[in-house]
Structure 1
């Protein structure tokens, strides 16, 4: 009886030990799986500024211990400047039960917002998130599942370049997408600013990239400078616009550095890499469970960075101002 009892005890101990080992092994796999957060990145179109926000966002995650393929899984989708595709991407992210959606541009953010009121959404490169219907206020005190960063910069800071570069400007042309809320906000601000400075504004609305050539050609000879807002359709067509403008001695004052590297003369704009990085830091708080989007106010970057294109400066015979800090770039060709 004693022998049988010992044998039974040994068998039970072995079974229990194996069970514990199996349980530990299975529990470890489950914990590992639970730790991997799924992040969906939806971007309207590829152009330098939007790309920089994505790069900054991912770098902020990495700097805080979140690495793709390890403890996070990043699913990057580009809508190729097609709003219905943005909506499809957002719906797919919801169906895939992403833990967080990072929306680059206003249309992408609106699509994500319309697709879910539960999954945390962080936007960037949105000029006016209130007008876009993403948040009720910039302090986001009544916020839901959405917050992020805005690339808004007051029009007087953007167009201070006219005086800084000593440009002879009386008439300003502006091209913009008629379907982007961001663009309407900026064009309205431009017209209000123009009244205070005595400028005349000539508008040219477009709805597709196929209209860009005709639009820029129609402005040549009628305006003294071209202002380019943070408009995704226009900015993604900047190489075409810059080629025509530079050939006709028409200076382009842009709102983002990416446009300058594509041939625009200059911009006084935000640093989009840093804007994305700042959004990534917000994402870290959400991923760690330290905050929800409703706890996070919309953030902006107030001080512009002046960037000038050396190639365009030579073409237009314009010199870099000596009394202002200026970053210079050259034209990038594909």
Structure 2
């Protein structure tokens, strides 16, 4: 195999060169911008597979690729300044993770390629024109592009709790896709004989009132409509769920590892590992507008038996048998 073209830390002026021309320069070191709402500690589980994905394609971090990491440490108001810093550095591509990060970077540049690694409903919120033809400087991965996954989570919660009638929905109304998510859950909930109890969370100080709402409205369990804000609070959410004796389900294994009873969704480490392929194609001259947005191919069900024990619940054997991972 021929030696790869390299990606780079220096030479800010070169950021203005046409990408295809830069990709043809052997020995060049490129810079990848990484923009995260969370902290390094909260995202290390996805940083490692991302770097492994690059390594599998011939890129060596610190040698022919340098990653400019920027972490907002859960403070969303820091994101615009961090994004602007990456743009000023003239990085060759920016990975953005969430919708909010992607929108922030899109406002700052129409030329630097953006790889969104974990977007929600990117067409609906205007990140791309279509999944097949993004049409801008943005491509990458989408999850929860429809309501099927949240329907499945309701089904799993009902299977774990056969007498379930009232389900809390912990959600952030400021996250645009959540309104469609909540609306789409009504019909399947009714078909399952479930009444939904929405509880809004706008920040850490609103978690307690949200749980008070679910308890007051006699919710027997709840679903977390995950997005970056609530993902940052997953530890607190899990602790409150056990305290109030409320079984819960959310999207990714990180919530189960934090202490929620169940999670079902995309395998994020796998998704971040695969996102390296988008960067590789862009470095070889591909335009983000022409790279179709991909959806997860690997989903996993995780059951936390420690939490089940704390809640005095017996998880049905049928559910345990289908679990990809059981935390004991």
The interval holding the TM-score normalised by the smaller chain is 0.7 to 0.9
Q: Does 1:231 align with 2:227?
A: yes
- Within 5 Å, which residues of 2 pair with 1:36-51? 36-46=29-39, 51=44
The answer to whether the Cα contact below 8 Å between 1:48 and 1:258 also exists between their aligned partners in 2 is no
Match of 1:276 among 272, 288, 294: 272
1:296 corresponds to:
291
Separation of aligned partners in 1, 2:310 and 2:289: 49
Task: Look up the match of 2:201.
Answer: 206
Find out whether 1:143 has 2:138 as its counterpart.
Answer: no
* TM-score under structure 1 length normalisation: 0.82
- What is the match of residue 188 of structure 1? 183
Distance in 1, matches of 2:227 and 2:41, equals: 13
CA deviation map 1:100-141 (0-9, x unaligned): 0000111111111111110110002212111221101111x2
Larger radius of gyration: 1
1:325 to 315, 322, 326: 322
**2:116 is paired with a residue of what secondary structure?**
strand
Q: What are structure 1's unaligned runs of at least 5 residues?
A: 1-30
Partner of 2:163: 168
Mapped to 2, the partners of 1:149 and 1:127 lie a distance apart of: 9
Matched, 1:116 2:113: no
Q: Structure 2 CA distance, aligned partners of 1:312 and 1:173?
A: 18
Shift in Å, 1:94: 1.3
Is the contact between residue 134 and residue 288 of structure 2 (CA under 8 Å) also seen in structure 1? Answer: no
1:72 Cα deviation from its structure 2 partner? 0.9
Unaligned residue ranges in structure 2 (runs of 5+): 1-23
- Tell me by how many angstroms 1:51 deviates: 4.4
Alignment of 1:215-254 (within 5 A): 215-221=210-216, 222-254=218-250
How far apart in 1 are the matches of 2:225 and 2:44? 17
Change (3 A) 1:185 1:35: farther
Residues 267 and 298, structure 2, Cα contact 8 Å, conserved in 1: no
Q: Is the 8 A contact 1:39 1:73 kept in 2?
A: yes
Look up the SS of the partner of 1:129 in the other structure.
coil
1:282-334: per-residue Cα shift (whole Å, max 9, x none)?
21111233x2212211111255311011210111233344333211125xxxx
Equivalence for 1:74? 67
Q: What is the Cα deviation at residue 64 of structure 1?
A: 0.9
Deviates more, 1:119-128 or 1:313-322: 313-322
Count of residues in Structure 1 that have an aligned counterpart in Structure 2: 298
Matched, 1:97 2:96: no
2:48 to 55, 70, 78: 55
Separation in 2 of the partners of 1:229 and 1:48? Answer: 22
SS, match of residue 164 in structure 2 = coil
CA RMSD in angstroms comes to 2.3
Is the Cα–Cα contact under 8 Å of residues 221 and 246 in structure 2 kept in the other structure?
A: yes
